[in-house]
Structure 1
Amino acid sequence: MARRLYVYAFLEDFILIYPVYSVLFAEAGLSAAQISSLFAVWSVTGFVVELPAGLWADVFSRRSLLVAAPLLAGAGFGLWAFVPSYPAFAAGFVLWGAGSALRSGALQALVYEALERSGDAGSYARLIGRSEAVALLGVVAASAVASPVLAVGGYRLLGVASVAACVGCAVAGWFLPEERVGRVDGGLSVVGVLRDGAAQVRRDPAVRGALVLAAVVTGVTSVDEYVPLLVRSTGVAAVWVPLLVLVVTVGDAVGGWVAGRGVRLLGPVLGAGAVLLAAGSVGQSVWGVPLVAVAFGAFRWSVAAVDARLQERVGDGARATVTSLAGFGTEAVSMVVFGGYALGSAWAGPGVLMAVVAVPFGVVGVVVWAVGRRG
C-alpha cells in the first residue's frame, strides 16, 4: 500500500512547469491581479466539483477518480505550454482544479479505510504525511530539472514533460488497492450518503470542529502559490527562481515526513510557523527564504495533523463526502486568500502580503492552544 501510494504521490507532483508557472503567466503579460484571478478560477472549480466528487467516491469507486484526476490536470498543463494566453491559463486551472477535487476526498478515504481494515489506523497521519512529503520530493525533482529543461526547450518542453508525468500518475492510480465494491443503486445511495454525512456533521461537535480546523489550516496554505513571486521579488533572475523555490519545497517536505509525531503541539507549531513566515517574507531578501522554508514545513506538518483529526472522527459511510466538505471549505478559504492578495497587490509587494497571510496561522495556533489547555 505505502509504496504504491508513494509512487502515485511522486508522479502527481513531478510537474516541471509547476515551479515556474507564475513566472510564465507574468512573462505572458499578466498582472498580479490577473494571476490572482486565475487562482480564484482554480478555487471556484474545486468549490463546485468537490462535493459531487466526494459523493461519487462514497457511492461508486474511489480509485476511478484517482485515475481521472491527473489526466485532467495534464490536459491543463498542455494548454499552458502550447497556448500561453489568459483564456488558456484559465481553462488549464479549470481542468487542474477539477482534477484536484476528484482526488482529495477519495484518496484520504481510500488510505484511511485500508489502514483501518488492517488495524493500523493510528498510522494514518504518518503515512499521509509521508506521501505528501514524497509528493513534494516530486516537486523538488521537478524544480531541480526545470531550469535546464527551460533553457533547452522552453515552456513547451516543460509542458510535454508535465503531461507525461500525469499519464504515469494515472497508471499508478489504477494499481492502488480498493477492496470495497462500489454500489450501483443510483440516487437512493447518493441520498443515503448525503444524509449520513449531514447527520455526522450536525450531531457531533467533534466532527464539526475538526472539519472547520482542517478547512482553515489547509485553505490558508494556498498562499504557497505565491512563493515563486516572493522569490522573484528578491531581485534574482528568472532562471534561479526554481532553485530557490526548491529550498522552500524541501522545508515543506521535511514537515510532511515527520508528520504524526507530537500532534499535541499543533497550536505552538502553527504559531511558530506564522512568526517564521512573517520574518522571512517581509524583508524580500534571499536570506529570508530558509525561514519561509521552515514555516511551510510547520504548516505541512499541521495539515497532516488536522487531516488525521478529521478522519478519526468521521464514520466510514460518508467518509469521502465529509472529507470533501472540508475540501469545499478549504476552497472557500483559498478564495479569500487569493482575493485578498489580488486587492493587496495594488498597495504592497509579495513580501508584505505574505507576511500578512501569516496572521491567520498565528490566530488559529493561539485558538488551538487555548482550547487544548481548557480541555
Structure 2
Amino acid sequence: MSLSTRSAPRHDRAARGAGATVEFRSVVKEFPGHRALDGVDLTLQPGEFVALLGPSGCGKTTALRVLAGLEDATSGSITIDGTDVSDLPANRRDIGMVFQSYSLFPHLTVLSNVEFGLRMRKVPKDERRTRALAALDMVGLGVHAERYAHQLSGGQQQRVALARALVTEPRVLLLDEPLSALDARVRVQLRDEIRRIQIDLGITTLFVTHDQEEALAVADRVAVMRAGTIEQIGAPEELYTRARTSFVAEFVGLSNRLDGVVDESGTVVVEGVRLPLIDTTTPLGPVSAYVRPEDVVFSPEGIPAEVVSSSFLGSFRRTTVRLSSGALVRIQHGATAPAAVGDSVFLALTGAAVAVQQRA
C-alpha cells in the first residue's frame, strides 16, 4: 500500500492485497474484579471494515486496545497475517490508530503533526514531507499544512489525526469512536470520508462505536458485543432483519416488544397474527416478539389501536399507537400519511420474521 498510488483503481488495490488478516483467538482480558473480554473469537479479512458495536462496558474498546498492544490479553492470542503479535509492543505491530480525542501536538503545524510518526521511524526529511502532504491531500487538508491545531475546526482536527494514522502505511487501522465529539452534520460527512479512504486504500479496519447508525452505514460486517462476548456478527442488513437474539433485536434499530405464543406450527402468534420465527428451534410457550416499526402498517381493518403521538422526521413519520391491551406500538410510515393524536386506527403486520425471548 502506498499513499503515492492513492488514485489507483479499487480492483488493482485488491489485487495487491494491501490489507492484513487479523484474528482474535479465544481472547480473555481480566481486570481486578471484572472480565472485560470473555473468550472473543473474531476474524477480519484483508481490506475488511468491521465495526464493534455495543453499550458502554461491553468490551469493545478493550478489544481494540488489546489488538493495538495498549493492553495485554490475559489469555488467548491475536495474529496479524498469521503472526502472533500478542507479546509485541504497540510500536511493532504496524497499526495506525485514531482516538476519540484528536491528540494533536498544539506546538506543531498540521504538516509536522502528520510527519511525526515518520520522524520517529527515521524516514528521510524529503520523503516524510512528500508522504505527509499526500496524506493531507487525501483527507482534503493539503492547503492547511502550515496551520496549527487551534486554527482548525473539530472535524478538520480529526482529519489530521486520520492522516497521521495513515501516513505510516499501517497494515491495520483502528478507530476508537473517532466521531463522537463532532456535531451531527460533520460526523456524517467524516464517516463517509473515512469509508471512502478505507476502500481506496484497502486497509483492514476495526471501528469501535456505540452509535448503531454509524456502524450500519459504513461497516462490511458489524459485531454486536455484550458483556465481553460477541452476541452476533454479520452484514448490517443481516443484523437488522435477522437478529438472532432479543438483545440484538433491541439494540440494533428500533423494535416493538409484543406478547406472543410459539405453538406447534413453529410460528409465533402475535395479536392474532402468525409470524415466522428467525430461530425456528424456539421452544413452545409464551414469548416476547420483537417487531420492527416498518413491519407494522395502517390498514382498513385488523388490530384496533389509538394514535398516541406522531413525529415528522423528514422523509418519514414515526407514529406511536396504543393497542387495546395497553401495549404501545411504533409505526414507521410515509411522511404525508395522516396520524392525528386520538384517531382510532387499524394495524396489520407485514409477516416479517421476528426474534423472540421466552417469558415465564
TM-score band by shorter chain is under 0.3
**What TM-score, normalized by structure 2, do the two folds share?**
0.24
Structure with bigger strand share is 2
Structure with bigger helix share is 1
Larger relative contact order (CA 8 Å, sep ≥ 6): 1
Question: Which is higher, the Rg of structure 1 or of structure 2?
Answer: 2
